């Protein structure tokens, strides 16, 4: 949806109340707290605990500027995007341990030396099946993939540089093919496989490996940018539409890891370079009940 150009008299967005989760903690949280990155919850999915970070509603510049090195035309024109609702986003890609706990059966991944490695060789439809089961294990929430806009917003974590860490990237910061550095950067290590999640430092919002390791499926298809401000934009979502993947992978060079880089694939594609991370949204019936708990919330770690 296109967003009207804000007037100077318009109230700040988001408001202080809108920044906070509608329910804190959500019923599914076994623990929650507040640290240097912000609010977090932990959810037990059939014996495997996943931490999720609260991503506040807000606005950001989506896409890359015309002068960004190695950009592609489909990354522009750069435009303002407003996200009107916050959500809980997993701080890592879905691991093989979490996948097996929720789905059972065999591990689809090639790189199985560590259960903390991200699950790969999962299609968009496989991820959707996982989310349906995860929703049943997380009362008061619904599990979904982030939209492409939500993914880039979380990846950038307030940055406007090619990477959330700055103007360039090294293999000590992300898992990619270091034989192909970004712009005039130094060559680095090529690991040739995935690595366990949390192998590298988190971005400013506490999210790990938003750059590299595995491409991450998004909920929607590729949207054509027209330069106009947008509110909660989404690309094609019909059954036949290919779906966006973001973030780059262990097999690709650094330029594919940029925050603005856009790629896509068929929904049924299963590849050793593709995984996903998921988000939780509070269901409407829980929001009123959460208002009273939210008013009492503080900034210390708690068992839910």
In the chain the domains, ranked by start, together with CATH numbers, are: 32-295 (3.90.1580.10)
Task: Report the predicted TM-score, pTM, of the whole model to 2 decimal places.
Answer: 0.92
Q: What percent of the chain has a predicted confidence (pLDDT) above 90?
A: 87
Q: Given phi > 0 = left and psi -120 to 50 = alpha, else beta, which region is 288? A: alpha
Of 213-227, 264-278, 279-293, which range is least confident? 279-293
pLDDT at 302: 58
pLDDT value at position 18? Answer: 85
237 and 189 Cβ atoms separated by less than 8 Å: no
pLDDT confidence of residue 13? 87
**153-165 burial, b if ≥16 CB within 10 A, otherwise e?**
bbbbbebeebbbb
Angle at 176 between CA 202 and CA 278, to 5 degrees: 50
Q: Residue 172 pLDDT more than 50?
A: yes
φ, ψ for residue 276, nearest 5 deg = -165, 160
């Amino acid at each position: 949806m296109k967003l009207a150009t804000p007037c100077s008299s318009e109230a700040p967005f988001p408001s202080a109340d809108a920044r906070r989760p509608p329910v804190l903690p959500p019923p599914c949280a076994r623990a929650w707290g507040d640290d240097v990155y912000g609010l977090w919850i932990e959810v037990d999915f059939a014996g495997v605990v996943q931490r999720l970070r609260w991503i506040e509603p807000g606005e950001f510049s989506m896409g890359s500027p015309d002068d960004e090195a190695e950009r592609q035309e489909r990354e522009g024109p750069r435009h303002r995007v407003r996200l009107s609702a916050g959500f809980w986003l997993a701080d890592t890609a879905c691991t093989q341990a979490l996948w097996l706990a929720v789905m059972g059966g065999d591990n689809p991944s090639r790189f199985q030396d560590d259960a903390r490695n991200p699950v790969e060789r999962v299609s968009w439809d496989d991820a959707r099946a996982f989310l349906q089961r995860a929703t049943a294990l997380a009362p008061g929430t619904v599990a979904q993939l982030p939209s492409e806009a939500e993914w880039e917003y979380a990846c950038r974590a307030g940055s406007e540089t090619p990477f959330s860490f700055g103007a360039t990237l090294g293999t000590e910061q992300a898992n990619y093919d270091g034989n192909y550095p970004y712009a005039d950067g130094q060559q680095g290590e090529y690991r040739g496989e995935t690595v366990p999640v949390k192998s590298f430092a988190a971005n400013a919002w506490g999210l790990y490996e938003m750059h590299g390791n595995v491409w991450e499926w998004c909920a929607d298809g590729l949207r054509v940018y027209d330069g106009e401000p947008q509110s909660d934009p989404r690309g094609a979502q019909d059954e036949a539409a290919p779906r966006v993947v973001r973030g780059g992978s262990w097999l690709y060079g650094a330029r594919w890891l940029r925050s603005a880089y856009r790629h896509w694939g068929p929904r049924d594609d299963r590849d050793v370079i593709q995984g996903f991370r998921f988000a939780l949204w509070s269901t409407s019936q829980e929001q009123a009940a959460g208002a009273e708990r939210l008013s009492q919330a503080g900034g210390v770690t708690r068992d839910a």
